[in-house]
């Protein structure tokens, strides 16, 4: 195993750990959503005193859980895949399509992280708060580019590992010939 492959394995191990932490935070966000909605329902219907912060906080928790879980879902291969055609293709074409898909995802995510960073920074500069409850938005919006950066790094490492495997398989075939 080359030093580059060893470095890729270490980077993948670290990024998987960060993704797992994001997943745990995402699960805690779901729990917080249930608690906040439950308290909101109790106050609204039993005490007849609706809490103003419930809608704002739920929206922010939902954004947090979505972006924090994204990288973990990718690592765990939990995303939706339509494989009835893909599985019938030769392994070489499957490998090339996976690399192409990862490269396309990288391009999209780099553009997305640029836009979400601008969104966060603008909110930070303007001291943006939620409309109803005046919850500061910058910390919540910072989670988006932060989680996307981990996702991008994971896809990059995954893509590089696939390219290394692809190149090493072709070198092995050429040596045999």
Per residue in 127-155, pLDDT (tens digit) is 999 988 899 999 999 999 999 999 999 99
pTM: 0.85
d(CA 25, CA 27) in angstroms, rounded, equals 5
Q: What is the mean pLDDT of the chain?
A: 91
- DSSP state at residue 129: B
Supply angle C-alpha 73, 76, 77, rounded to 5: 80
How does pLDDT run along the chain (177 residues), one tens digit per residue? 789 989 999 999 999 999 999 999 999 999 999 999 999 999 999 998 888 899 999 999 999 999 999 999 988 877 777 788 888 889 889 889 999 999 999 999 999 999 999 999 999 999 999 988 899 999 999 999 999 999 999 999 999 999 998 888 766 666 666
Question: What does the domain layout of the chain look like in residue ranges?
Answer: 3-176
Q: Please report where in the chains the tokens 């195993």 appear, as a residue.
A: 1
d(CA 136, CA 144) in angstroms, rounded, equals 15
């Amino acid at each position: 195993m080359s030093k580059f492959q060893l470095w890729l394995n270490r980077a993948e191990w670290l990024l998987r750990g960060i993704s797992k932490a994001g997943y745990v935070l995402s699960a805690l966000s779901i729990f917080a959503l249930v608690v906040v909605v439950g308290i909101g329902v109790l106050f609204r219907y039993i005490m007849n005193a609706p809490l103003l912060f419930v809608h704002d906080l739920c929206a922010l928790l939902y954004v947090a859980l979505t972006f924090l879980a994204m990288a973990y879902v990718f690592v765990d291969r939990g995303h939706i895949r339509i494989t009835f055609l893909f599985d019938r293709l030769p392994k070489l074409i499957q490998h090339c399509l996976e690399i192409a898909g990862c490269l396309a995802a990288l391009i999209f995510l780099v553009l997305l992280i640029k836009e979400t960073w601008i969104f966060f920074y603008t909110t930070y500069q303007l001291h943006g708060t939620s409309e109803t409850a005046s919850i500061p938005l910058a910390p919540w919006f910072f989670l988006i580019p932060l989680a996307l950066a981990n996702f991008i790094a994971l896809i990059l490492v995954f893509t590089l590992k696939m390219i290394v495997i692809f190149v090493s398989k072709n070198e092995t075939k050429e040596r045999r010939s």
